[in-house]
């Protein structure tokens, strides 16, 4: 692959904060850039804003053609005119997370001490809460005192929870979808396999691959392939591929390939064209560090004491990466402090990625919840 075609420089809508940001690790970023996209119109009272938080491999292009891939936005099924998150009614914002590679400050950004080169693996460790604090800077900059809702799936759901815990007065409603209050040991293990695959790539060069004019394509592709397996269910893979071969009717030649193998290879190869390996290392570690209860003395309910935020927790029956039990645990914690919380498990055989796919029950649930919240919030 022509290395010049991998992650070409792209101009992104962004805001730069010259005073930077102090991180949970104790380091201070000298400046902070938050790249974002918005859809719809902010009303006169700035009361109809919804922040959509993206997952690990997502970005700010939630409901429009992606500038690198040319593909539709990752949540086109949910965000748009007349959809569950109706841009005719709401002002929708989505920001590239801190540590990302689509315009926000991250490993590809100029180093604070050596502006002529990127941070690379020297980029400080960030947390989900750091990502939320960066988003809060953007929201304040836009003149929004209270978000009508914060919505996100997977890592985006972690951000929604962190928003509700850090800034309860600034969030009227929170919708964590297919998420959890902490990253499990199993999930951390899968992430570590991906990180090791990247580090073992001969083109990784200890994270300084840009200096060699290369990228650790194979390692990053394997990381993506491994992760993608966790996003789907066995039923979904069986329905889509079964044991079908790509070009043959039986295994007469050892090199014959199963369709599922080709599918995973495509997932990996397309991923390296839009994602930075060092960002992958940074963001997966942020997810691994997330433990909302640990941040509140080991008691999850303490994260939400006195919260007036309205919650909708959504899980999917076949999601084994963030199983329903983890959403139920959050619901119990919210009930423990008498928070306004609803919980629904959507029956689906599509696995964790169901929140990204065509799931009418989920879309109706989300639309109904937002409509009810809008009535209580006095939105016309």
Catalogue the active-site residues. 154, 319, 352
Q: Which residues contact 366 (CB under 8 A, 6 or more apart)?
A: 78, 84, 85, 151, 175, 312, 314
> Does residue 338 contact residue 327 with C-beta atoms inside 8 Å?
no
Distance CA 359, CA 314 (A): 12
What's the angle, vertex CA 186, arms to CA 184 and CA 191, rounded to 5? Answer: 95
Distance CA 1, CA 19 (A): 39
Q: Which two tokens stand for residue 340?
A: 């306004």
Q: Which residues contact 203 (CB under 8 A, 6 or more apart)?
A: 209, 212, 214, 215, 216, 217, 218, 219
What's the angle, vertex CA 229, arms to CA 226 and CA 234, rounded to 5? Answer: 155
Alpha helices in 306-346 (DSSP H): 324-336
Q: Which residues contact 53 (CB under 8 A, 6 or more apart)?
A: 94, 95, 97, 135, 150, 151, 152, 155, 156, 157, 159, 160, 163
Distance CA 333, CA 69 (A): 40
Strand, coil or helix: 258: strand
Going 239 to 242 to 247 to 249, the CA torsion angle's sign is negative
> Does residue 164 contact residue 139 with C-beta atoms inside 8 Å?
no
């Amino acid at each position: 692959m022509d290395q010049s075609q991998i992650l070409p420089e792209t101009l992104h809508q962004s805001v730069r904060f010259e005073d930077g940001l102090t991180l949970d690790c104790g380091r201070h970023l000298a400046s902070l850039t938050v790249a974002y996209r918005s859809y719809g119109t902010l009303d006169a009272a700035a009361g109809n804003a919804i922040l959509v938080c993206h997952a690990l491999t997502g970005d700010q292009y939630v409901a429009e053609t992606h500038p690198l891939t040319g593909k539709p936005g990752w949540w086109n099924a949910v965000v748009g005119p007349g959809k569950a998150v109706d841009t005719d009614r709401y002002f929708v914002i989505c920001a590239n997370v801190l540590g990302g590679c689509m315009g926000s400050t991250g490993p590809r950004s100029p180093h604070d001490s050596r502006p002529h080169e990127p941070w690379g693996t020297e980029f400080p460790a960030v947390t989900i809460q750091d990502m939320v604090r960066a988003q809060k800077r953007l929201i304040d900059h836009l003149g929004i005192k209270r978000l009508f809702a914060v919505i996100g799936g997977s890592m985006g759901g972690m951000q929604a929870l962190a928003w509700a815990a850090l800034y309860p007065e600034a969030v009227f409603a929170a919708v964590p979808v297919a998420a959890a209050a902490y990253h499990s040991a199993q999930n951390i293990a899968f992430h570590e396999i991906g990180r090791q695959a990247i580090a073992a790539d001969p083109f990784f060069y200890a994270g300084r691959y840009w200096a060699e004019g290369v990228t650790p394509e194979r390692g990053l592709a394997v990381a993506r392939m491994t992760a993608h397996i966790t996003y789907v269910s066995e039923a979904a893979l069986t329905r889509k591929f079964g044991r079908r071969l790509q070009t043959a009717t039986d295994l007469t030649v050892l090199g014959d390939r199963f369709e599922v193998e080709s599918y995973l290879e495509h997932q990996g190869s397309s991923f390296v064209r839009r994602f930075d390996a060092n960002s992958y290392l940074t963001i997966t570690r942020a997810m691994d560090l997330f433990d909302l209860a640990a941040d509140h003395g080991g008691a999850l309910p303490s994260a939400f004491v006195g919260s007036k935020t309205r919650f909708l927790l959504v899980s999917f029956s076949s999601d084994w990466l963030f199983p329903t039990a983890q959403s139920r645990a959050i619901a119990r914690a919210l009930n423990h402090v008498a928070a306004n919380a609803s919980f629904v498990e959507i029956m689906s055989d599509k696995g964790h990625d169901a929140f990204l796919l065509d799931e009418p029950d989920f879309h109706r649930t989300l639309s109904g919840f937002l409509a009810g919240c809008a009535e209580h919030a006095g939105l016309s």
